[in-house]
Structures are given as structure tokens and as C-alpha cells.
A and B are shown apart, each in its own frame.
Chain A
């Protein structure tokens, strides 16, 4: 029986809840995404738990669909950055030589420009579609995964047990998948949580700046943008999606922390 610390339990609960709502959004949402159901910025009531938004749409419904969009984009971008970054990182570490040099210097170059600025530059000429957003975010973020995966793999690659496998005559496949990967898994899994959070924050930021998900569709960042003008009139509608982003990010972080602690404690043990 695994003992789960309370912090991780809270994290697991909220992460699960958000993903559940995202997947079953159409079944859960009380109204339709674009339907105008009331006045502008109505306060919360029994019909509209979170009130209405800047043009009178149900805010809870917008939040549920917005969460679906945010989580979808972030998940897709994370999967992209992760698979690309870790495969290239491992390859660079094991193959070494000029392949490693060329890839690593290119990654250095991409990372010499702040990610947000780079994304803005690219999005200034590209059509802003869901596919484009996922590609841009996933590709830019894969540089970080690449660096981590390569560093971890380089560390493991110089261990005597890998040398022993090479001296035994094992092929590259065995070395990557049987010797290196099992030992690289725990830092990579924890990193996956962080990359997901980064993707959530990143897509929210882009949408908030008006360069992400385009209206009438909206993710959480977009909902903040739609309702931000209310703030100065004392209407806190814009804070609702912002709080949702923060709780999702914190929950995932708690889970990632727990996974990392758990797996490092098993270092060299059953796993």
C-alpha cells in the first residue's frame, strides 16, 4: 500500500478534477459556449454560479470549455516537446561527436532568445490556429527537454555499468532502452509535470496578449482578456480563470514533486 502525502493527494484530486471536466465538458456545461444568457457581468446567482461575462454569456460554461481548450493545447504541446526533446537528447548523448555538437549548439541558439519573444516573432507572420500554437509551443519547449534529457543521459552514459554493457558487445538499442532509460525515467517524469505547467502558463499568456486562441473560442487566458476591463469597475470576473490557471499549475506541481521524491527514494531499489 502506497502512502500518499496530503499535499500530493490534494494535487492529484484537483488535477484529476480539471482533466475530468475538460474531457466531459459538453456533458457538464450548463449552457452553450457562445449563447448569451443574461446581462453584462451579472454577479453570481443560482442560475449562473460564476455570473456572466463581458457580453452576458454564462461564465461557468465559458470556464469549462476554456479549461478544455487550455488543457488540450498544453497536453498536446507537452507530448510534442517531450517526445521530440527526449529522443533527440538521448540520441545526442549516446551518439556523441558532431551530431551532439550540432544539435546542442542549435539548441543553445534557440534558447538565447527568450521563449515568449521568439513565439511573438513567429506568430507575427503565422496564421494563429490551434495547430500552429501547439507546434510553436511544443517545438520551442522541446529545447529545454532536450537539455535535461541529454544531461541526464550523458551522466548515465559514463557510468561503469554502461561501459560494462558496451564491453559485453551490447547494441545501441539495449544501451538506450535497458541501461539508460530506466535510470533516466524519474527526473524526466518530474520534468514532464513542469513542462505541462509551463505550457499552461504559456498558452494562457499568449491568449491574454490576444495572440493565442482566437474569439469566439476562448481558453482561460482569453477569458481573462475578455473580462479584464471589468477590474477597474470592481468586477472580479477576470480573476476567475486566472485562479483556475494557478490552481491547476500548483496541483500538477504538487504531483510532480511527489513523483520525483518517490522515485528518487527508490533509486537503486525496486522500480
Chain B
């Protein structure tokens, strides 16, 4: 077997294993810990009988391992159980919200990724000069600012004072794409700002690393123009690290989404998760946790696989 295929297969297997282990961790985190779901639902005044009944209904009388495997096999078949709070099927409630969250994250990525790469290149081009310094100052500031601050500042000035965008991002299926985009303008801006700084800084580092290689000097000493040096020699070697940077930041975006959805009351998965954590609705929390972990692990895996595919030493073995 070609070594690249072997490595990619290894990554896939590893990620699957990791996701499985993560599912154990999520399940254990909500079960083995001393909190009692039944008590939480029924409150302190519940009678011992009603507690026992509810526990039985929830399957709490079975051993934890049995419940874990029931949950896992259910999840594999697309059954995540029912919510404790309203008895509705979790998959039904999640479907639309997951779509909304991905919609939001997608547009944030569409704006942020090209912008970050462009600004990263700009910082490299003007290294140690003012554009670079400005960019690193903004980076420092933005990693120190919580997402909700950016959210409320934008909401206050752009949404309320200027009235340019809605402060609450409600979207329906019946809205046109334009209307939807208008509704999510502010959250997309916030998410972009949240990931932009990191992505830019890492892109800058990745490209600088390539630009400082001896083969770039060789290319310059061949008399190639700056553009040819970058296009023919820097770019092919910079793709892998930059894609890696993008993937890692998209994974970070997935987490940023949670807070931003709450700020703008956006009907996505983050909002759904936070609501149900407050209500201590364990099956919903487990389901959301699993999906977030899967997306996160998946993106990290893609980043790994891209690095493998782009490595000429692996692609063309001796």
C-alpha cells in the first residue's frame, strides 16, 4: 500500500477511536459524576417513590455500561433519545438548529478565511513595518476580548445607534437567502473578528517560515521576479501549513458559535445546548456535546490529512 494511503487510513482510524473515547468521556461526565438527574428534574421536594419511578423510566436502574452502549448504538442509528424537559425527539429538534449553526459558521468562514489569508500575506509583505505592527496589535487586543463584548459593542453601535442591522438574528426557512444574510450580518461579523486574529497570525508565521527557507533564496538568486518566487516556490510549500491553520481555526469557530448564538438569540445548536444545560436536560447535553466533539475532531483530522497529502516526502517515497 502507498505510504500516504496508509497514513491517511491511520488518521481516520485514530479519529474514529478518539471520537469513541470522547463519547465515553461525555457519557461518563454526565453519569458518573455525583449529580442526580432525577433529583434535578423533580426538585428537592420529590418523594422517594416518584424519584424511583423516574429513574426507572430513564433507565437509571441499569448499570452505566449498559446505558452507555444503548446510547451509543442509538446514536449510531440516528436516535439520540428524547429531551427530558419536553419529551420531544432530540434528533427532530436538533436537525433544523444544526443546519442554522452550520449556515452561520459557513458564512463566517467564507468571510474570515480569505480575509485572514490576505491580511497574513500583507503582514509578511510589510514585515516589521507599520501594517505588520498594526496587525499584531489588533491580534493582541482581539485575543484578550471575550466574544460577547464584541457582540454587544457591535449590537449597541451598529444595531441600535446606527440601526444598520437587526440586533436579534431570527431566521426562518421561508426567508430568502438575502434576508437570511441580512439577519445574520452582525453574528457573522463577530465570528469573523473572533477567528480572524488567530488565523492571520498563524498564517503569517506559516508563510514566514516558508519564505525563510534556503530554496526561496535559491529562487531569488535565479533572478525570478517576486511574484514567480512566491507562486512557484513559496505557495506549493505554504498550502499545507495554511490549510492546517484554517482548519484549526474553523474548529475554534465551532466553539465561538455557542456564545454568539446566545448574544444574538440565534436559533442554532449553541443556544439549544446552553438552554438545556441550565435546565439540566442530560440527554440533550450529551447529544449536543457529541455533535460538537465530532465536528471538532473531524476538522482536526482534515487538518492532519492535508498535511500528509501535501508532504512531498510522503507523496513520493524513495
Instruction: Report which A residues bind B (CB closer than 8 A).
Output: 108-110, 112-118, 120-127, 197, 201, 204-205, 208-211, 221, 224, 228, 231-234, 236, 238-239, 242-243, 245-246, 249-250, 253-254, 257
| Distance to closest chain A CB from B197 (angstroms) | 12
**Contacts A113-B296, A224-B152; A211 near B274 (Cβ below 8 A):** yes
Of the candidates A112, A120, A242, which one forms a contact with B153 in the assembled complex, judged by CB atoms under 8 Å apart? A242
User: Which A residues are in CB contact (< 8 Å) with B262?
Assistant: 208-209
B300 close to chain A: CB less than 8 A:
yes
The CA of A236 and the CA of B160, in the complex, are separated in Å by: 10
Verify B289–A120 contact, CB threshold 8 A: yes
For residue A245, which residue of chain B has the nearest CB? Answer: B146
Report the 9 A-B pairs with minimum CB-CB distance, sorted nearest first.
A125-B35, A249-B144, A242-B149, A124-B285, A114-B255, A250-B144, A124-B277, A246-B145, A121-B289
Stretch at the interface among B3-11, B18-26, B99-107, B228-236: B18-26
The CA of A204 and the CA of B146, in the complex, are separated in Å by: 8
For residue A225, which residue of chain B has the nearest CB? Answer: B148
B258 close to chain A: CB less than 8 A:
yes
Of A125, A221, A234, A254, the most chain B CB neighbours within 10 A belong to: A125
Of B161, B254, B292, B297, the most chain A CB neighbours within 10 A belong to: B292
**Contacts A120-B273, A120-B289, A125-B280; A231 near B155 (Cβ below 8 A):** yes
Count of B interface residues, CB-CB < 8 Å: 56
Of the candidates B33, B161, B263, B296, which one forms a contact with A234 in the assembled complex, judged by CB atoms under 8 Å apart? B161
| Distance to closest chain A CB from B54 (angstroms) | 15
B60 close to chain A: CB less than 8 A:
no
Verify B148–A224 contact, CB threshold 8 A: yes
Verify A125–B282 contact, CB threshold 8 A: yes
The CA of A117 and the CA of B274, in the complex, are separated in Å by: 10
B167 close to chain A: CB less than 8 A:
yes
For residue A257, which residue of chain B has the nearest CB? Answer: B140
Verify A253–B144 contact, CB threshold 8 A: yes
Verify A117–B259 contact, CB threshold 8 A: no
Verify B297–A112 contact, CB threshold 8 A: yes
User: Which A residues are in CB contact (< 8 Å) with B155?
Assistant: 231-232
Verify B148–A121 contact, CB threshold 8 A: no
User: Which A residues are in CB contact (< 8 Å) with B258?
Assistant: 116-117, 120, 209
Verify B286–A121 contact, CB threshold 8 A: yes
Of the candidates A112, A209, A224, A232, which one forms a contact with B18 in the assembled complex, judged by CB atoms under 8 Å apart? A112
| Distance to closest chain B CB from A48 (angstroms) | 20
User: Which A residues are in CB contact (< 8 Å) with B146?
Assistant: 201, 204-205, 208, 221, 242, 245-246
The CA of A137 and the CA of B281, in the complex, are separated in Å by: 22
**Contacts A122-B29, A242-B146, A253-B140; A117 near B282 (Cβ below 8 A):** no
B250 close to chain A: CB less than 8 A:
no
B293 close to chain A: CB less than 8 A:
yes
User: Which B residues are in CB contact (< 8 Å) with A121?
Assistant: 26, 29-30, 277, 285-286, 289
Binary per-residue interface labels of chain B (202-241) against chain A in the complex, 1 for a CB within 8 Å, 0 otherwise: 0000000000000000000000000000000000000000
For residue A114, which residue of chain B has the nearest CB? Answer: B255
Of B148, B161, B288, the most chain A CB neighbours within 10 A belong to: B148
The CA of A122 and the CA of B34, in the complex, are separated in Å by: 11
B147 close to chain A: CB less than 8 A:
yes
User: Which B residues are in CB contact (< 8 Å) with A231?
Assistant: 152, 155-156, 160, 167
15 A-B pairs, CB-CB below 8 angstroms? A109-B18, A109-B25, A113-B289, A114-B254, A114-B292, A115-B255, A125-B35, A201-B146, A204-B146, A205-B259, A208-B148, A221-B148, A231-B160, A249-B144, A249-B145
